[in-house]
């Protein structure tokens, strides 16, 4: 591992006192960054440890919002979300990701900012525009089974790996940040990620010296919720396709729908075209497939991932039909579709 200079941030000193630039990185839990540093995919000159930033390790709420601190671990957030029926989708997504050991260290902000698991991004002997801009994309014409079908460019077809972010996009979470000049920003998570275009190494709207302080989620009923993750093994694997959905049915029609896809986009995917077909419609198989076609109209596959559009159609259909059936049987239900607790 390359040497680095270590600094600490505990939330008391201003950010401007830290030497933040393009070669500095904030270190939260470290489950992704330390791994990338061992492989020399990341070679920061400066690390700013957030281990002593206790204030960011809390979850609070008022009448309208939940506020989740940047340093709250995935385990603690899953435990909290599990107790809130309207956040079941978030609990399900978190618990479907990684392992207990990793979730005990991984943080809310770190999860949002984790890097892709594209094989070529990890392999420093291969060309990768995300790791080394201008070198090319090894995945484009090669083994790309796990890669994206939405938001791709000739420069990059890597997926964003997070499950948590998919649920948060469905729930319209807001990211709150702090800048060195003391200003703060609020960015909708749906607008937070950038498509790769010609600059796949720039993944979010954040500036290099900007720090996520917390995430807020509006309190509202989200109906029956299901995070369905299709993957190569039943635990500890990234999604090939995932669908996060919360559904409310009234008078046989979709009254409210929270929806996002994982494993298919260069960013956690907010399927606006599908949602516009589904809103107010009767949730029949025909309508659901129409919504999938609307979204898939701009999908592009790359050979090894040609199966993903059909897998997405089937997963979306299964999820929405099961949610609709549950809503019809249990009008006004709020919480998980399946709950063995």
Partner 1 sequence: MATLNLNGKDVSIPDDPRTTLLDFLHQHLSLFGTKKGCDHGQCGACTVIADGKRINACLVFAFQLEGAEVTTIEGIGEGESLHPLQKAFIERDAFQCGYCTSGQICSGVSLLREMKNEDPSAVTYSQTRHSKASLKEDISERMSGNLCRCGAYPNIVDAITDVIALERQ
Q: Which of 45, 55, 61, 102 binds partner 1 (CB under 8 A)?
A: 102
Shortest CB 97 distance to partner 1, Å: 9
Shortest CB 222 distance to partner 1, Å: 15
User: Is 202 a residue that touches partner 1 (CB under 8 A)?
Assistant: no
Please list, in sequence order, all residues whose beta carbon lies within 8 angstroms of the beta carbon of residue 329, skipping any fewer than 6 positions away: none
User: Is 38 a residue that touches partner 1 (CB under 8 A)?
Assistant: yes
Q: Site size for partner 1, by CB under 8 A?
A: 40
Please list, in sequence order, all residues whose beta carbon lies within 8 angstroms of the beta carbon of residue 110, skipping any fewer than 6 positions away: 28, 29, 30, 31, 32, 33
Q: Which residues pair with 48 in a beta bridge?
A: 7, 26
Q: Which of 44, 69, 71, 82 binds partner 1 (CB under 8 A)?
A: 82
Question: What is the 8-class DSSP label of residue 116?
Answer: P
8 Å CB contact between 252 and 243? no
Shortest CB 152 distance to partner 1, Å: 27
Q: Which of 45, 55, 79, 117 binds partner 1 (CB under 8 A)?
A: 79
User: Is 51 a residue that touches partner 1 (CB under 8 A)?
Assistant: yes
For the window 215-254, what string marks contact with partner 1 as x by the rule CB under 8 A?
------------x------xxx------------------
Candidates 206, 260, 257; CA nearest to 228 is 260
Residue with tokens 């649920």: 167
User: Is 339 a residue that touches partner 1 (CB under 8 A)?
Assistant: yes
Rounded Cα–Cα distance for residues 268 and 213 (Å): 20
Write phi, then psi, for 212 (nearest 5 degrees).
Answer: -70, 130
Nearer to partner 1, 31 or 178 (CB): 31
- Is 278 exposed, middle or buried (CB count within 10 Å of its CB: 0-12, 13-18, 19+)? buried
Write phi, then psi, for 320 (nearest 5 degrees).
Answer: -70, -35
User: Is 95 a residue that touches partner 1 (CB under 8 A)?
Assistant: yes
8 Å CB contact between 218 and 65? yes
Range in contact with partner 1 (rule: CB under 8 A) among 139-147, 211-219, 266-274, 330-338: 330-338
Applying CB under 8 A, which residues contact partner 1?
A: 1, 3-4, 6, 27, 29-31, 34-35, 38, 47, 49, 51, 75, 78-79, 82, 88, 91-92, 95-96, 98-102, 104-105, 227, 234-236, 336-341
């Amino acid at each position: 591992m390359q040497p680095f200079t270590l600094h600490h941030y505990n939330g008391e000193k201003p950010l401007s006192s830290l030497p933040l630039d393009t070669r500095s990185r904030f270190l939260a839990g470290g489950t992704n960054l330390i791994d990338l540093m061992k492989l020399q995919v990341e070679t920061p000159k400066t690390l700013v440890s957030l281990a002593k930033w206790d204030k960011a390790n809390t979850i609070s709420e008022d009448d309208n919002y939940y506020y989740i601190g940047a340093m709250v671990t995935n385990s603690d957030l899953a435990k909290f979300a599990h107790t809130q029926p309207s956040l079941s989708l978030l609990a399900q997504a978190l618990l479907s990701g990684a392992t207990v050991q990793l979730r005990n260290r991984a943080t809310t902000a770190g999860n949002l900012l984790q890097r892709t698991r594209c094989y070529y991004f990890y392999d420093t002997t291969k060309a990768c525009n995300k790791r080394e801009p201008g070198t090319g994309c090894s995945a484009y014409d090669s083994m790309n089974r796990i890669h994206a079908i939405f938001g791709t460019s000739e420069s990059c077809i890597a997926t964003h790996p997070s499950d948590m972010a998919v649920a948060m996009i469905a729930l319209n979470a807001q990211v709150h940040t702090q800048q060195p000049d003391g200003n703060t920003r609020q960015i909708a998570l749906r607008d937070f990620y950038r498509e790769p275009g010609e600059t796949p190494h720039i993944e979010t709207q954040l500036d290099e010296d900007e720090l996520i302080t917390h995430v807020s989620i509006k309190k509202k009923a989200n109906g029956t919720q299901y995070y369905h993750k299709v993957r190569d093994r039943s635990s500890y694997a990234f999604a090939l396709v995932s669908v996060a959905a919360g559904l409310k049915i009234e008078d046989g029609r979709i009254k409210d729908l929270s929806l996002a896809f994982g494993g298919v986009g260069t960013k956690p995917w907010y399927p606006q075209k599908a949602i516009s077909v589904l809103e107010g419609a009767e949730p029949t198989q025909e309508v659901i497939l129409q919504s999938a076609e609307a979204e898939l109209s701009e999908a592009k596959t790359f050979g090894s991932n040609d199966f993903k559009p059909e897998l997405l159609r089937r997963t979306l259909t299964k999820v929405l039909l099961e949610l609709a059936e549950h809503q019809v049987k249990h009008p006004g239900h709020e919480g998980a579709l399946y709950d063995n607790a």
